[in-house]
Amino acid sequence: MMPTKILGLFLALAMLPAMAATDAEFVDLSGKKVKLSDYRGKWVIVNYWATWCPPCVHEIPELAAFHEAHKDKDAVVLGVNHEDDETTKVKQFVEGYLVGYPVLRSNERLSNRTPFGALKGLPTTYMITPEGELVAARTGMVDQKGLEKFIKDNSN
């Protein structure tokens, strides 16, 4: 687990000027379209990951715990699978690892592009405010305590 102090430092260094996040559209593992605006009013933690990425797999329990603690209140996690595997393989992985948050597929799996800018590595996490503004990004692992501290420190 990554120490919260380090996570906070990296998120602070990666702070972006608040800018409207595009209304990104993804497809969930059942084929249903999901838009970022579907979650307006809550913090949205968008986590790009892949099944072959050890740090991505390692942070899944932290993201799942965060999502479970906040989904009915103030925040959600959206896991965006960014690889060119079959959806059935990704579904099996998600079921096997008991991923408890929505898992979506990246529309640009074969590139380093995201609706939020260039993807510099995996995992990468983007922080979207309840108003739909992209305010931070982090390449590398995140943990529940760090996400909670970030939201507390950046909520009005």
Give 31-62 pLDDT, tens digit per residue. Answer: 999 999 999 999 999 999 999 999 999 999 99
From residue 137, alpha-carbon distances to 71, 100, 112, 117, 151 in Å are 20, 22, 15, 10, 13
- Is the bond preceding residue 61 a cis peptide, omega within 30 degrees? no
Domain hosting residue 96, numbered range = 4-154
Whole-number pLDDT of residue 20: 57
What does the chain come to in residues? 156
The pTM is what? 0.87
The enclosing domain of 116 has a CATH number of 3.40.30.10
- Number of domains forming the structure of the chain: 1
Give 65-107 pLDDT, tens digit per residue. Answer: 999 999 999 999 999 999 988 999 999 999 999 999 999 998 7
